[in-house]
Amino acid sequence: MVLEGPFSGKPPKMTIRRVAEDPGEVVPTHPSWSAMILLLAPMEGLLDATLRDVLTRTGGIDRCVSEFIRVTNTVLPERAFLRVVPELLNGSRTRSGVPVRPQLLGSDPACLADNAARLAGMRPHGIDLNFGCPAKTVNQSRGGAVLLDEPELVGRIVAAVRRAVPVHVPVSAKMRLGYNDDHRAEECAFAIAEAGANELVVHARTKAHGYRPPAYWERIAQVRESLPPHLRIPMIANGDIWTVEDALRCQNVTGCHALMMGRGMVTNPGLALSIKGQGFVPWEMMPGLLLAFWQQVGLRVDKRHRAGRLKQWLNYLRRYYPQAQQAFDDLRLTNDADTVQHWFDRNVCVLPKIQAEQADRTPLVAEAFPA
């Protein structure tokens, strides 16, 4: 089916209007919005380097954190870090210039420290430590959120990594409120801060909560207030930030100056921009962004999985953009990358414009970020 409207005809201008979600309403920039620091969260299997590149083009994101790099019993070669964080070849920044912080996951303090030291030699924009992953397979291997039952080990990991990297390299951590319950949330936060972390992201749920609403933002405030003044490192709130109103309410409840967003940004690529009062991403921009995503998926993902990656993103987008439903319906039953490419050829006519704009700014992803 050939799509009507924005997917046909002349290529859309890739610009963002400084207006509210109602195109007729001009947005004043509120001081608390523009001053907010916004981070893009990792999402294993979806929000990787490919989608980071596309989402950071829209504006509003101040920093990204990569998907986790699993560390077991060996020092990884540089290519293992580059596979997850190809931005390390670009000064640890996306092509839009947004910093990317690699994330390590493991349970052996010495091995994590050795890997952090090697990673620090690649000039990352800091090193993040994962104490929040709720995946069963990860937790069974003593990684992620399961470590929150062992605050002393969490502290030793952070301390070992902090000692292993130069002082100018920030070390941060991400945790949930706990594993099966939140009784040790304050203890874990204290261990992380006391061990020398520069900042801490707190997802406002336990592992047992998964991603079910609500997010318990008030617990982030309690964890933050529990730290003694000399250990009150910057804390970043994460969880259930889908709208501008959610962001402002989360900031008010938690007292955090910075927020991290994952699913909200995947669903609405203009969310960070809107939170900062700088506009929104209209549907007319999405064909070009979808095509840019598809081009990079073709370079980085095995052919049999490419269609699934596009449908995965469309499934999120249709929650915010009604127009995305038709695109999702068109492709829902296909797993063939060639069929998807033919769909783009029929419906999206912006390829020459995108290539011209990229040629003016920076090398294409195949040159800058090898697969």
Catalytic positions are 133
For 119-179, the three-class secondary structure string (H helix, E strand, C coil) is HHCCCCCCEEEEECCCCHHHHHCCCHHHHHHCHHHHHHHHHHHHHHCCCCCCEEEEEEEEC
CB-based burial, 22-40: b 16+ in 10 Å, e otherwise: eeeeebeeeeebeebebbb
What is the distance of C-alpha 369 from the center of its chain? 18
Q: Phi and psi dihedrals of 167, rounded to 5?
A: -65, -25
Place of tokens 């939170």: 275
How buried is residue 220: exposed, middle or buried, by Cβ count under 10 Å (0-12/13-18/19+)?
buried
Long-range contacts, stretch 52-56, CB < 8 angstroms, 24+ apart: 52/87, 52/94, 52/98, 52/100, 53/94, 53/95, 53/96, 53/292, 53/296, 53/365, 53/369, 54/269, 54/289, 54/292, 54/293, 54/296, 55/265, 55/266, 55/269, 56/94, 56/96, 56/98
Task: Give the DSSP per-residue string, 212-262.
Answer: PSPP-HHHHHHHHHHS-GGG---EEEES---SHHHHHHHHHHH--SEEEES
Residues 12 and 271: their CA atoms lie apart, in Å, by 20
User: What is the C-alpha separation between 156 and 309, in angstroms, rounded?
Assistant: 37
CA distance 86 to 371: 8
19-22, Cβ contacts within 8 angstroms, sequence gap of 24 or more: 19/279, 19/280, 20/274, 20/280, 21/274, 21/280
